[in-house]
Amino acid sequence: MNTPTLASDLNLCLCHSCGKSCDMSGRPLFCERCGAPLHARKTNSLSRSWAFLLTSLVFYIPANVLPVMNTSMLGNGADSTIMSGVLEFWQHGAWDIALIIFIASIAVPGVKFAVLSLLLVTAQRGSNWARKERSRLYRFIELIGYWSMLDVIVVALVAALVKFHGLADIEPRVGILFFGLVVVFTMLSAMSFDPRLIWENPTQREVANGIASH
């Protein structure tokens, strides 16, 4: 079977901004159509992805330990963490809201941590294991990243509804800030990861890094 021709064989580089195939013969630094910087690969992809992922893991601890909201009713107030909030919604019959917050706050971040760690470790070791499946996992991580802020939106809507009906008063606490940072840094980690590393062996990566450094 013939090996397909690669863009690097034709000395071409795809602009990440406008999608134009740029001729790299004259070593241009910017796209001639949109002026965006040209990169054969995402610069320091693994290092930046690891840094963002570890930062999000650090922020995940206070996001779950510190209270995310305070609910006061008839003069009595109580702080709630993400997990205690899920349990309270469940016990009061709002199982749908409890399920949404649990999936968005506990399950989705856990899946993202596990999948990103798997992608980074296998790419760093140049593994040939399940490349097609790992590519699908990366696209899955990109897809669920758009819904990571769902629980924050749900909490905001619940707080607005409660205040509107005058049943109680809900105020955000510092834990919700850390959870927002977890979402942002996991998204940055996924965006920094170059999925083409899944299909490269260490020798190809050294060549690509050499091209990217120019």
Q: Please provide the size of the chain in residues.
A: 214
pLDDT tens readout for residues 174-210: 888 898 899 889 989 988 898 888 887 665 555 555 5
pLDDT tens readout for residues 35-86: 887 777 777 889 999 999 999 999 999 988 998 877 776 667 778 888 888 8
pLDDT tens readout for residues 15-38: 777 778 888 887 888 888 888 877
Per-residue DSSP letter, 199? G
In this predicted structure, what is the pLDDT of residue 206? Answer: 52
In this predicted structure, what is the pLDDT of residue 39? Answer: 75
In this predicted structure, what is the pLDDT of residue 210? Answer: 52
Are the beta carbons of 179 and 82 closer than 8 angstroms? yes
pTM equals 0.76
Closest CA to 179 of 91, 93, 77, 108: 108
In this predicted structure, what is the pLDDT of residue 148? Answer: 66
In this predicted structure, what is the pLDDT of residue 32? Answer: 84
For residue 165, give both structure tokens: 């009906």
Mean pLDDT over residues 143-159, rounded?
Answer: 69
**Torsion sign (Cα): 152, 154, 156, 158:** negative
Strand partners, 28: none
In this predicted structure, what is the pLDDT of residue 106? Answer: 85
**Torsion sign (Cα): 184, 185, 187, 188:** positive
Interhelix angle 108-124/131-145, rounded to 10 degrees, is 140
Q: From residue 176, how far is each of 80, 105, 125, 172 by CA, in Å? A: 11, 10, 36, 7
Q: Give the whole-angstrom CA distance, residue 19 versus residue 22.
A: 9
